[in-house]
Amino acid sequence: MTERSPDSPGVIVIPPLLYLGTLIVGVILHVLVPLPAFPPLPARIVGVVLIVASAALARWGERTMRRAGTNVRPDRPTLAIVTDGPFRFSRNPLYVSLTGLYLGIALIIDDVWPLVLVVPLLIVMRWGVVAREERYLDAKFGEPYRAYRARVRRWL
């Protein structure tokens, strides 16, 4: 097991692993007790659109962070506050994209379970990841981060 860097937000889990783990639980529940949620064709169309849009947002956000010279992974030190690209509209575009990917896959599966599990997933994200990141960024960057936080929404 690797030690956490003292210069990191101390997130409780890497977000893609949290989303993947939650989705796996949703799929297992779907196999055990299927509960279709929507008419299949419209759900799948919306699911595919969400996946494509979310993948594009994730790629844009990742490229923007790399161009700014900071780490993409939240368990590594943040080297700069990124305020351009998708970060002009959301302080967490990569998490918005993960949520969109998750919901898109849930719609393609067309089952209630992954949709129900998105609620605890987002609670864990809010308190176990985002809140920790916000405290870390505030302590590390101070007023520049607070000014950014005041003008850009957390999610959308």
pLDDT in tens, 99-123: 999 999 999 999 999 999 999 999 9
| 36 is a domain residue | no
Reference 100, options 12, 19, 13; nearest CA is: 19
Burial letters 23-49, b for 16+ CB under 10 A, else e: beebbebbeeeeeebeeeeebbeebee
Residue 1's pLDDT band, with cuts at 50, 70 and 90, is: very low
| 7 is a domain residue | no
Spatial distance between the Cα atoms of 18 and 122, rounded to a whole number of angstroms: 10
| 9 is a domain residue | no
Query: What average pLDDT does the structure give for the chain?
Result: 95
| Domain around 143 | 15-30+41-71+79-151
99 burial (CB, 10 Å; 0-12 / 13-18 / 19+) is buried
Number of structural domains (the chain) is 1
| 5 is a domain residue | no
Do you know the residue count of the chain?
Answer: 156
